[in-house]
């Protein structure tokens, strides 16, 4: 098969190299297109545009395959700890026992945040959305650790920054929650696991010893792994583009948190539960919601359905649906919203509109139901996604930096007014 693509423009023929990925994915390398032809490509939403060659995550949307560094998501969710997966995504291989000990130890010893940050929290209004607080707090970490701002990135500085960020994000997330509900913040406890410590800071109170429930700890470990990376999605691309200007890791990840917040991306987990709650409260037939989602004059979409790359099924959704049944069963919770979700899935999957467009439940359809069962408030759902996605953002930022990728800067086709002379104020109509 030819390893070049031919393009005919205004009667002239040009050749462009074809790239083949490790899993036989094909791409036409048009990096020299404008220089040789004067043309650019147009691809709103980057639906067909590869922005990088990455060795981190492999995703086959047609066949529902997701692998981190070659390991299947099913196996990692079943057998690994979140810290092992974080190490894998960032450093390329699963850690051996010594490497994992060092990684855990380093992270455990950076969990405290500067006391001055408490004053930032105090300034937020009561009930402030935790995602807004988290994004600001992550960006402000750069002011406490100015060495992270050095664009000539030294490998030790980068590692320290990476460990600090992984260590501090659960502390900041839990503090955002405590501020949101007006409860005293808890200091981290270094004898607990990464997830256990987060639970202690979320649900512990100063007067009592908090006991980590292994069912909740294991469910959160699995959810974090399922969210840990998803190649060039909206927030990850944001992190890479911000980082491509040589902005520091904290600022780049803060931008990723903001991108994740939107309801079409990570914010969908909050939107799904709100939608299911409305369906329950209104009691109207499920078909009427499906009809609204199909109606092009109505902006309503079935939240938790559809995906830019999965057109058959989302492997994460399959694992989460099963986990939702297990976790609710183990905790003895009967949530009517889970039944509504299953019925809605059934109706949608048999509807021609959804079938034709390849719209299936995505990772966010069932995750909110588990978060709710675990006692996590709705406002915190997207924060949970951010905690899980952090190692992916870091791994992708590190890869982009090590590959010395050029600054991200797309082109456009201008459609505004052509040149016109300035009209003084008195002469304007």
Give catalytic residue positions. Answer: 307, 364
Residues contacting 47, CB < 8 A, separation 6+ = 308
Residue 76, CA distances (Å) to 81, 102, 374 in order: 8, 21, 22
The verdict on 266 binding ligand CMC (CB under 6 A) reads yes
Query: Nearest approach, Cβ of 360 to ligand CMC (angstroms)?
Result: 10
Which of 69/265 has CB closer to ligand CMC?
265
Identify residues 339-398 at the interface with ligand CMC (CB under 6 A): 357, 359, 362-364
Identify residues 30-49 at the interface with ligand CMC (CB under 6 A): 45
Q: Is 308 exposed, middle or buried (0-12, 13-18, 19+ CB in 10 A)?
A: middle
Report the residue from 110, 114, 189, 308 that binds ligand CMC according to the rule CB under 6 A: 308
Report the residue from 40, 123, 181, 264 that binds ligand CMC according to the rule CB under 6 A: 264
The verdict on 229 binding ligand CMC (CB under 6 A) reads no
Q: What values do phi and psi take at 422, rounded to 5?
A: -70, 135
Which of 150/343 has CB closer to ligand CMC?
343
Alpha-carbon gap, residue 106 to 112, rounded angstroms: 12
Report the residue from 130, 306, 388, 392 that binds ligand CMC according to the rule CB under 6 A: 306
Which of 18/234 has CB closer to ligand CMC?
234
For every residue of 69-101, DSSP letters joined together read TTEEHHHHHHH--HHHHHHHHHHSS---HHHHH
The verdict on 230 binding ligand CMC (CB under 6 A) reads yes
Quick check: helix, strand or coil at residue 331?
helix
The verdict on 228 binding ligand CMC (CB under 6 A) reads no
Which of 107/253 has CB closer to ligand CMC?
253
The verdict on 293 binding ligand CMC (CB under 6 A) reads yes
Residue 196, CA distances (Å) to 204, 212, 387 in order: 11, 6, 13
Which of 57/108 has CB closer to ligand CMC?
57
Alpha-carbon gap, residue 55 to 77, rounded angstroms: 20
**Which residues of this chain interact with ligand CMC, rule CB under 6 A?**
45, 230, 233, 264-266, 268, 293, 301-308, 357, 359, 362-364
């Amino acid at each position: 098969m030819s390893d070049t693509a031919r393009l005919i423009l205004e009667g002239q023929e040009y050749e462009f190299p074809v790239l083949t990925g490790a899993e036989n994915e094909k791409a036409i390398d048009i990096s020299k297109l404008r220089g040789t032809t004067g043309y650019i490509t147009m691809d709103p939403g980057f639906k067909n545009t590869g922005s990088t060659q990455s060795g981190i995550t492999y995703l086959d949307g047609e066949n529902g395959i997701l692998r981190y560094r070659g390991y299947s998501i099913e196996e990692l969710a079943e057998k690994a700890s979140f810290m092992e997966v974080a190490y894998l995504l960032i450093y390329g291989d699963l850690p051996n026992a010594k490497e994992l000990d060092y990684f855990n130890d380093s992270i455990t010893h950076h969990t405290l945040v500067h006391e001055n940050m408490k004053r930032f929290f105090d300034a937020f209004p009561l009930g402030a959305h935790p995602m807004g607080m988290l994004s600001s707090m992550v960006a402000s970490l750069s002011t406490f650790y100015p060495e992270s701002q050095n664009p000539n990135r030294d490998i030790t500085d980068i590692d320290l920054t990476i460990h600090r960020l992984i260590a501090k994000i659960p502390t900041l997330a839990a503090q955002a929650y405590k501020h949101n509900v007006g409860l005293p913040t808890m200091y981290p406890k270094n004898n607990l696991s990464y997830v256990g410590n987060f639970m202690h800071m979320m649900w512990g109170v100063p007067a009592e010893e908090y006991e980590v429930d292994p069912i909740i700890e294991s469910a959160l470990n699995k959810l974090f792994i399922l969210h840990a990376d998803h190649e060039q999605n909206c927030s990850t691309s944001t992190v890479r583009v911000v980082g491509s200007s040589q902005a520091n890791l904290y600022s780049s990840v803060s931008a990723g948190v903001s991108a994740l917040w939107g309801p079409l991306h990570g914010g969908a987990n909050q939107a799904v539960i709100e939608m299911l709650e409305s369906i329950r409260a209104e009691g109207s037939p499920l078909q009427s919601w499906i009809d609204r989602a199909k109606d092009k004059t109505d902006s309503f979409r079935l939240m938790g359905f559809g995906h830019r790359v999965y057109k058959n099924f989302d492997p994460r959704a399959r694992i989460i649906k099963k986990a939702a049944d297990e976790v609710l069963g183990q905790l003895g919770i009967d949530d009517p919203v889970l039944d509504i979700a299953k019925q809605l899935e059934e109706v949608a999957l048999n509807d021609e509109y959804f079938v034709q467009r390849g719209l299936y439940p995505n990772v966010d359809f069932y995750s909110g139901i588990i978060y709710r069962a675990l006692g996590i408030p709705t406002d915190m759902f997207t924060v949970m996604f951010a905690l899980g996605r952090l190692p992916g953002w870091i791994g992708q930022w590190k890869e982009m930096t090590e590959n010395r990728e050029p600054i991200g800067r797309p082109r456009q086709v201008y459609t505004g007014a052509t040149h016109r002379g300035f009209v003084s104020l008195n002469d304007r109509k």
